[in-house]
Structure 1
Amino acid sequence: MTDRDEYELDPDYYKHGGFPKFEVARPGEGFGRFLTAMRRAQDLAVSADPDPDTWSAAADLADQLVALLGPFEAAEGVGPANRVPSLPGAGSLLMPPYRVTQFDSDAVELTVRFSRFHVGGNYAVHGGVLPLTFDSVFGMVIHATGRPISRTAFLHVDYRSVTPIDTELTVRGWLREAEGRKAFVNAEMRDPDGTLCAEAHGLMVRLLPGQP
């Protein structure tokens, strides 16, 4: 869907709830290095067990990082997070590091690798992380099929087997049915052997003009 198509379908397309128009960001090589280091820091934050002095030193360094970046805090859609498709997770630490391998009206497919940061117990991915991943895929499906800005009305997840960390998984989402403002979306996650880890279905509803 082009910008003109969006406007002709709904003149207030980019005013729904004040949604910013997201465009690809080019923050420079340092941002990718920063994200890689931060993802590793997240893993260590939930797995490291150093002595008290080391924790204090780590806290000092974290304080320095906050002080360095604090003056540059920006509004949504201005900072590069979630706007760099070439980086894992599109450059967002909120998301697990995924990479899109298919993006068209038939389906959206991506690979994702969860790590120690995402563990819920017994080295398996926390069940609450999977709805986050599926919800993001649902949003991609909406864009890939050319539908207007929508929000999730409901999302149901069925857990079929343990989802492992440190394994490249495949997630596939597709539009099952569309009816007016409603889009019914399905998705599934499989391990390298094809085992179904989890599947989801949900309802995405097109926003009305001015609706947040």
Structure 2
Amino acid sequence: MIDLYYWGTPNGHKISIALEEMKLAYKIYPINILSNDQFDPDYLKISPNNKIPAIVDHDTFDGQPISIFESGAILQYLGRKTGLFYPQNERKRIQVEQWLMWQMGGFGPMLGQNHHFSKFAPERLEYPTKRYQAETKRLYGVLNTHLQNRAFVAGQGQGEYSIADMAIFPWMLTHEWQNIDLNDFVNVKSYFERIYAREAVQKALAISV
């Protein structure tokens, strides 16, 4: 059994999607970030950076529970644990990892800043809003170009669905907050619709806490 410390954010969705896709048993422990649950001392023992998600896996390789924070690290762990959506072949694995890191280092943080300055900041500031909206559009353009004649970001030919796609997809759910029209990125739009239609994704997105 895996304990999932979760809230319904893009980073939270990544792990619920992975757990559903990999058909792993899990129990949700809500961490209400609007109420600052992430600063609870017990939670900080699991996630010292006071962010969600985090997991505790009780069914491990050495029989001892293991706690993991950072969504990318969790995805890699789950991929290794199950042998699913994270290939063992080194060339294929590199393709997955570079797009996972692209999301972790750029697509997530830049879109997150866009969310803040475009929707949540107490005052609207022109410079950072335009800066992060422009970087968001650039990143969507990078993804759109890469997805030309590809179904997924990693793998040969049409590509193979992987943990990289599970990481990228949830950040697109709020594209309207980001001042993004998916019709301007036709390959991304098809990619988004393809992943959104998956049964496991639908189950994960239906979670309410």
Smaller-chain TM-score range?
under 0.3
| Higher relative contact order structure (alpha carbons within 8 Å, sequence separation ≥ 6) | 2
**TM-score (normalised: structure 2):** 0.28
Q: Could you state the TM-score of these two structures normalised by the residue count of structure 1? A: 0.27
Q: Kindly indicate which of the two structures has a greater share of residues assigned to helix.
A: 2
Q: Which has the larger share of strand?
A: 1
- Considering only CA atoms, is the larger Rg found in Structure 1 or Structure 2? 1
